[in-house]
Amino acid sequence: MQFQEKVWEECKKIPSGKVSTYGEIARKLGSGARAVGNALNKSPGMPSVPCHRIIRSDGKVGGFAFGTENKIKILRKEGRNIKDGKVIF
């Protein structure tokens, strides 16, 4: 299995309403956060890979192929509170 597929598989494990960080995924796979972001940028997209559930370690929502505002809308729809571009825990 290629690295990007391993990243996608980790994303699939995150249930609706939950988030993980690029760094957390990277640690699980023995990689760097940037490599995780690059792999997610090549994902087949939703709903097969819920890459919108991956956020930055500082709580900011981070990038998204369909735009940050769409990522925020989806996360809110899943029950996450977001203020000033950050996920509230």
- Out of 40, 51, 55, 87, which one is annotated catalytic? 51
* Predicted pLDDT at 46: 72
**Contact in structure between 4 and 44 (CB atoms under 8 Å):** no
| Number of domains the chain is built from | 1
What's the pTM value of the predicted model, to 2 decimals? 0.91
Expressed as residue numbers, the domain containing 52 is 3-88
Is 11 catalytic? The answer is no
CA 2 distance to own-chain centroid: 18
**What's the rounded Cα separation, in Å, for the pair 74 and 41?**
17
Residues 6+ apart with CB under 8 A from 72: 61, 82, 85
Query: What mean pLDDT, rounded, does the chain reach?
Result: 94
The string of pLDDT tens digits covering residues 52-69 is: 999 999 999 998 888 999
pLDDT digits (tens, 9 = 90+) for 26-47: 999 999 999 999 999 888 877 7
We report the CATH number of the domain holding residue 66 as 1.10.10.10
